[in-house]
Chain A
Amino acid sequence: MVSLFFLLIVAVALAAFAFGRSRGRAFVGGGARLHSLPVYHGLFLATLCVLPMLVVLAAWTPVAPRYVEARTLAALPAELAPQTTLEKEGRLREARLVALGQFAGTPDAGTTVAAGAYAGARTEAEVTLLVLGLAGAAAGFVFGRRRLAPDFRARNSFEHVTKVVLIACSGVAILTTVGIVFSVLFETLRFFARYPWYDFLFGLQWSPQTAIRADQVGQSGTFGAVPLFAGTTLIMLIAMMVAGPVGLFAAIYMSEYATPRVRAVAKPVLEVLAGIPTVVFGFFAALTVAPFIKNVGESLGLSVASESALAAGLVMGVMIIPFVSSLSDDVINAVPQSLRDGSYGMGATRSETIKRVVLPAALPGIVSALMLAISRAVGETMIVVMAAGLAGNLTFNPLEAVTTVTVQIKTLLVGDQEFDSAKTLSAFALGFVLFFFTLALNIIALRIVRKYREQYD
């Protein structure tokens, strides 16, 4: 029904547009000089017709189901009147299925009555939608038609419409973000109602399995997240030790030393690296790099876990190289050529120029590139799921297995879970911490970039 209403909206919009435009053309035919092109008259009229329809739909959508529900429940005979929420849901579902003819078996008399009420109420609601919508469209049409005139500023009026549409679109993006933040926040608060936040943030033991039966042992259900933060930090540091220098130096080579021909080949190749799915990096880490590190380590007499932090960190570092290099390349290229000329003109060599003029000028941008890379590394999941461990070891030894925040979130939520235990809720708390951390990094990075932009001109 709603989809039919959308079709109706499109039809009304097209009709109103055609009418408005032909009115505009008629004005021209009548020898009048138009303020706005005929097409704006059409757009103006179409907007005035569609807007009330959308308002009606927006108002109808939350109201109609409640009305239908109330009518259905009221039609139920007294003996079937539901006592609990669960029962209410069941009765409504049955009535709906009967009304749609999808009910398996024979419904009892009460349900059939309720189904009749359901169908009736639905039809009423749908008819109301159509009538109100068309009435709104008609009102808009009449109002708009009276305003159409040769000197009517349809062009300027449509400017407001454009603005509203643009605001609505950015509103969707912003509201989604806000919505996600709040839903994670509320789940986090639910978790902290069951588990003290202090123990979560500062506890040293992570063991999320909760005992289902009283006689189970070793299932303490402690949610001390420090080992996860430590593991995340360790892997992130290893990754940045790879991606930072390699990415930065690659960017310097690309922007300062490479001939245009080399650059034309090397840059796209580097960007292909950014296009490799992380799951591919993941099995590369788990199947190639980790065993290699283990073999090398053992031949040196070191004990290396088969899922070492080093393997995951190294591969993650390789993954974010293009991220660092392409952002740094941009900021290095943004340093004006005149500064380089100034330095060369003083008799500086190329590396002196880079070290003393280009890099200092580009430094804020490079720092923000590194910060964005860090937030990328911290939020990365697939590689660590495949290559890092699950055990929450509190260690800074890169040869041992560690686990990360993202791995634990994935582990806590994958499979059959009930979503009101401390175990699953802890995933939201972890997600919230992660989000908070990357958000903070992004804000800092953006601020640095803004400050950097003020440096020239």
Chain B
Amino acid sequence: MTTMPNIELAKATVAEVADEAATKVVAREVNVYYADKHALHDVSIDIPEKAVTAFIGPSGCGKSTFLRCINRMNDTISICRVSGRIEIDGSDIYDRNLDPVQLRAKVGMVFQKPNPFPKSIYENVAYGPRIHGLTSSKADLDEVVTMSLKRAGLYEEVKDRLASPGTGLSGGQQQRLCIARAIAVNPEVILMDEPCSALDPIATAKIEELIDELRENYTIVIVTHSMQQAARVSQRTAFFHLGKLVEEGPTEQIFTAPQDKRTQDYITGRFG
């Protein structure tokens, strides 16, 4: 057997997760097509509540595509077609009667490149509460903004300049602002699409720390290129390859005793 990479594992053990393992998201035989291209084949997975699940795999393997199915972001791409079944808390999110706009308020998303709106820091965080009418007064809104910034670990750095533009922050701060913006609408699930790929190591460390804290309150799904990152922050890991979900299980197991040859090759750096 090949030697496994020396990867430090997340603090929460498999047993811990298993204890509280209420399943939040259930996907069954999800297929995605971009025009004629079959991008995702029969993906079935259970994502546990209040834990971090990492999707790893080489570029173009479908992990981001699957992530974007969970909040129906693929609906905004006209050539994209999704089949199969995805349930959150037991209800089908592709149900005809379900409003994808409401779904996305429940399933927040953080993107690869920090994308704060060209508005003030305050307005960035207040965006979601405003469009969903979550707050009734200015004081209420202030409270939500402050809370969200605090939870995203950004408040101390920006409390004196809430009115200055969000685009003026550093890359890492912008990404934490985007996380604050996502949690301001009080979502249950937060999807993160390679949230650290545009950041330097120090900013990355801060985000990872933040993800570990957010795990207490939110179900987090993170797509990452970095196996070290997956090992550091996640409790469960899913390995995607060529549009298929190859293997899925507790992070420790995936990184120490993968069942599939492809997983083993990938995490030992043989390809990808």
**Chain A residues at the B interface, C-beta cutoff of 8 Å:** 259-260, 336, 338-349, 352, 356-357, 360-361, 455-456
Contacts and interface: CB of A to CB of B under 8 A. Distances in A.
A347 B131 contact: yes
B104 interface: yes
A347 B131 CA distance: 8
Nearest to A261: B78
Given A349-B101, A455-B118, A341 B127 contact: no
Contacts of A356: 127, 131
Given A338-B115, A360-B119, A345 B131 contact: no
B178 interface: yes
6 nearest A-B residue pairs (beta carbon): A347-B105, A345-B109, A338-B115, A347-B104, A342-B115, A346-B128
Interface in B76-93: 76, 78
Contact of A352 (B115, B116, B131): B131
Contact of B104 (A338, A340, A345, A361): A345
B127 A343 contact: yes
B182 interface: yes
A360 B165 CA distance: 13
B73 interface: yes
Contacts of A456: 118, 167
A118 B71 CA distance: 91
A263 to B, nearest CB: 11
B155 interface: no
Given A347-B128, A356-B131, A336 B115 contact: yes
A346 B167 contact: no
B131 A342 contact: no
11 contacts: A339-B117, A340-B76, A342-B115, A344-B104, A345-B109, A345-B182, A346-B104, A346-B105, A347-B102, A356-B131, A455-B167
Contacts of B111: 338, 341-342, 345
Contact of A346 (B76, B113, B119, B181): B181
Interface of B: 71, 73, 76, 78, 101-106, 108-109, 111, 113, 115-119, 127-128, 131-132, 167, 178, 181-182, 185
Contacts, number: 69
Contact of B115 (A259, A339, A348): A339
Given A344-B73, A346-B182, A348-B127, 12 more contacts: A338-B115, A341-B73, A341-B109, A342-B117, A342-B181, A344-B76, A346-B104, A346-B105, A347-B102, A347-B106, A348-B101, A360-B117
Contacts of B182: 345-346
Question: Majority SS of interface residues in chain B?
Answer: helix
Nearest to A362: B118
Contacts of A346: 104-105, 108, 127-128, 131, 181-182, 185
A342 B113 CA distance: 10
A253 to B, nearest CB: 15
Given A346-B128, A346-B182, A347-B131, A260 B109 contact: no
A356 B128 CA distance: 11
A361 B106 CA distance: 26
A260 B78 CA distance: 9
A457 to B, nearest CB: 9
Contacts of B127: 343, 346, 348, 356
A456 B104 CA distance: 25
A195 B182 CA distance: 67
A345 B101 CA distance: 8
A338 B73 contact: no
Contacts of B178: 342
Contacts of A352: 131
Contacts of A343: 117, 127
Contacts of A259: 78
B190 to A, nearest CB: 10
Given A338-B115, A455-B118, A345 B108 contact: yes
Chain B CB within 10 Å, residue with most, of A260, A336, A347, A348? A347
Contacts of B106: 347
Nearest to A340: B76
Contacts of B102: 347
B117 A347 contact: no
Contacts of B113: 338
